[in-house]
């Protein structure tokens, strides 16, 4: 089961946004054209009052690009749909999984983990839909 630390904060940061896409394969010539600035609130968050952040612990969601230590952006205002990655509470335990509402279960995105069946009569609640994740690629100095 994953552990989470929740944060209710606002990303108040704007940075330059360049008009060209960056090659992840063979390098292309740099283009110095600046499109404007990017506000991460506008780009990532649709419902600020209903959005919170939490840090994930564990490797059960690596198949969808969520890794141990990633910061999840969770929107409580969205209605969860079958196949959404959600933050769910099952009998008081929080977990990040794929919602299989048709099969009444929560699915990991790592084949090492079995599906979690949602038993009849259990206390189950979707806390929110995971809309994005943020991963650090370079560690901060200690």
Catalogue the active-site residues: 60, 97
Q: State the Cα–Cα distance between residues 113 and 97, nearest whole angstrom.
A: 11
Torsion angle defined by CA atoms of residues 115, 116, 118 and 123, in that order, rounded to the nearest 10 degrees: -160
Q: State the Cα–Cα distance between residues 87 and 37, nearest whole angstrom.
A: 31
């Amino acid at each position: 089961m994953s552990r989470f630390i929740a944060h209710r904060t606002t990303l108040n940061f704007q940075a330059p946004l360049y008009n060209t896409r960056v090659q992840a394969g063979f390098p292309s010539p740099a283009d110095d054209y600046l499109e404007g600035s990017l506000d991460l609130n506008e780009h990532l968050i649709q419902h600020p009052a209903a959005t919170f952040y939490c840090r994930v612990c564990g490797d059960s969601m690596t198949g969808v690009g969520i890794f141990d230590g990633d910061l999840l952006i969770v929107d409580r205002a969205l209605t969860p749909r079958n196949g959404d990655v959600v933050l769910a509470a099952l009998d008081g335990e929080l977990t990040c999984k794929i919602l299989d509402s048709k099969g009444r279960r929560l699915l990991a995105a790592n084949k090492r983990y079995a599906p979690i069946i949602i038993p009849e009569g259990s206390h189950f609640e979707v806390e929110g839909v995971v809309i994005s994740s943020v991963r650090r690629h370079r560690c901060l100095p200690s």
